[in-house]
Amino acid sequence: MPGSRNAIDVCNAVKRYGSFTALQSITLSIRDNEFFTLLGPSGCGKTTLLRMIAGFEEVTEGEIFLFGDEIENLPPHQRPVNTVFQNYALFPHMTIEQNVMFGLEMRGSSKDAARRKAGEMLELVQLAQFSARKPSQLSGGQQQRVALARALAPEPKVLLLDEPLSALDLKLRQAMRSELKSIQRETGITFTFVTHDQEEALTMSDRIAVMSAGRLQQLGEARDIYERPVNRFVADFIGETNLLDARVEAADASVATCRLANGLTLDCDAIGNARPGADVHLSIRPERMTLAAANGDPWQGTVRENIFVGTDVQTVVQLQGGIELTVRTQNSAAGVATIFDPGTDVAVDVEAGAARMLED
């Protein structure tokens, strides 16, 4: 959109490969200075969208704006955005320093200026001592940081990162998450990050766009998306959840009362489709429920099994009518929370506001 102050505006962008539609009319805005994440399962079109912004994929329909300037028809070398490729794509015949200098030289910097800036960038990613090496002489994690330095050196208006951490082992991946985040803050460059790892997205992002099957499902802050998923796909893809079928009993402007198949009722925030009699889906996060000894409350069931997952225990409880719920209990040394053995009858307490009505 002309005059927009957003870093990127994607307007009704469609991508078709022959008869296959990879992206169906995506509209989203990436704000200046934010850490923005495109999150979705494999094949949902994240890379395609990123490559359309970088200029490697033609936009079938729609427009893309960079700080208000229409860019979808510019060739990649005329777009002031840089990419960190998934396989890094470091130039194997150049040294680390030459790799980082490449973009600067192509933009017309003098050799000296380029060398100085490359030095700063390698300092930023803590690889200054490796500047004379070839990429093949570095570890995967180090190559990754070189790719980052190379893409940051020309000071792009937006940095695009396509699953840059997926080739690293778990420990390194976690370390790189906070490093990426702090580099983003330090440089003030807008980061657009692609991942299929929801934990990565939740820990790093200012805002997340959840995609599935070529469509944008939800866009919002990490907390928002986790706590207020709009549909079954988002609720299920981000974190773990209990999805329940229900029918709306009564609804006013803010609160809807829903009845589950087994007759139990729950209150939740009302959303658009909450007309009495409507069939809806509810999502309840496992950590928003607690267990207690059975006390005659209708919300009660039998413990089926306990699954130990390190930080907490997941208890599967079967309610009357065959509905199963997973409840998460934090492990604590003080033994505050009791773990009930399989077969025990327990009362399930659902926190107020824990149930979330979904749009589909």
Partner 1 sequence: MSARGDVRTYSGFRAMTLVCLVVLYSPLIIVTVYSFNASRSITVWEGLSLQWYADVFWGPESGKFKQAAINSFSIALIAATMSTAIATSAATGIVRGGRFRLRTASLGLISLPLMVPEIVTAVATLIFFNFIGFTRGYLTILVAHIAFCIPFAYLPIQARMQGIEDTFEQAAQDLYATKAQAFRRVLLPMMMPGIIAGFLLAFIVSLDDFIITNFVKGAGVETLPTAIFGSVKQGIKPNIMAISTMLLVVSIAMVTISYVVSKKDSST
Ligand X SMILES: Nc1ncnc2c1ncn2[C@@H]1O[C@H](COP(=O)(O)OP(=O)(O)OP(=O)(O)O)[C@@H](O)[C@H]1O
Judged by beta carbon, residue 20 or residue 129, the one nearer Mg ion is 20
Binding window for ligand X (CB under 6 A); candidates: 43-51, 233-241, 287-295, 339-347: 43-51
Chain centroid offset of residue 96 CA: 31
Binding string to ligand X for residues 6 to 25, with x set by CB under 6 A, is what?
Answer: -----------x--x-x---
Size of the site for ligand X (CB under 6 A): 12
47 is an interface residue for ligand X by CB under 6 A: yes
Q: Are strands 81-84 and 190-195 parallel, antiparallel or unpaired?
A: unpaired
As a whole number of angstroms, the distance between CA 1 and CA 56 comes to 21
DSSP string, 175-243: HHHHHHHHHHHHH--EEEEEES-HHHHHHH-SEEEEEETTEEEEEEEHHHHHHS--SHHHHHHSS--EE
47 is an interface residue for Mg ion by CB under 5 A: yes
Binding window for Mg ion (CB under 5 A); candidates: 43-51, 59-67, 104-112, 178-186: 43-51
CA angle 160, 166, 169 (to 5 degrees): 135
144 is an interface residue for Mg ion by CB under 5 A: no
Judged by beta carbon, residue 115 or residue 150, the one nearer partner 1 is 150
Closest listed residue to residue 331, CA positions, set 314, 346, 354, 349: 314
Binding at 286: pick from partner 1, ligand X, Mg ion, none (beta carbon under 5-8 Å per type): none
Instruction: Kindly identify the residues of this chain, within the stretch 189-218, that bind ligand X according to CB under 6 A.
Output: 196
As a whole number of angstroms, the distance between CA 124 and CA 118 comes to 10
Give me the half-sphere count of Cα atoms (radius 13 Å) on the Cβ side of residue 277. Answer: 0
As a whole number of angstroms, the distance between CA 258 and CA 261 comes to 10
State in angstroms the smallest separation of the CB of 146 from partner 1: 12
43 is an interface residue for ligand X by CB under 6 A: yes
State in angstroms the smallest separation of the CB of 287 from partner 1: 41
Binding at 218: pick from Mg ion, partner 1, ligand X, none (beta carbon under 5-8 Å per type): none
As a whole number of angstroms, the distance between CA 253 and CA 230 comes to 18
As a whole number of angstroms, the distance between CA 242 and CA 280 comes to 14
136 is an interface residue for partner 1 by CB under 8 A: yes
83 is an interface residue for partner 1 by CB under 8 A: yes
State in angstroms the smallest separation of the CB of 214 from ligand X: 7
Sign of CA dihedral 225, 227, 230, 235: positive
Give me the half-sphere count of Cα atoms (radius 13 Å) on the Cβ side of residue 126. Answer: 6
Judged by beta carbon, residue 192 or residue 242, the one nearer ligand X is 192
106 is an interface residue for partner 1 by CB under 8 A: yes
State in angstroms the smallest separation of the CB of 26 from Mg ion: 15
Phi then psi dihedrals of residue 222, to 5 deg: -50, -50
Q: Which residue ranges make up the site for ligand X (CB under 6 A)? A: 17, 20, 22, 40, 42-48, 196
Q: Which residue ranges make up the site for partner 1 (CB under 8 A)? A: 54-56, 75-77, 81-83, 85, 87, 89-93, 102-103, 106-107, 134, 136, 150-151, 154
Q: Which residue ranges make up the site for Mg ion (CB under 5 A)? A: 47
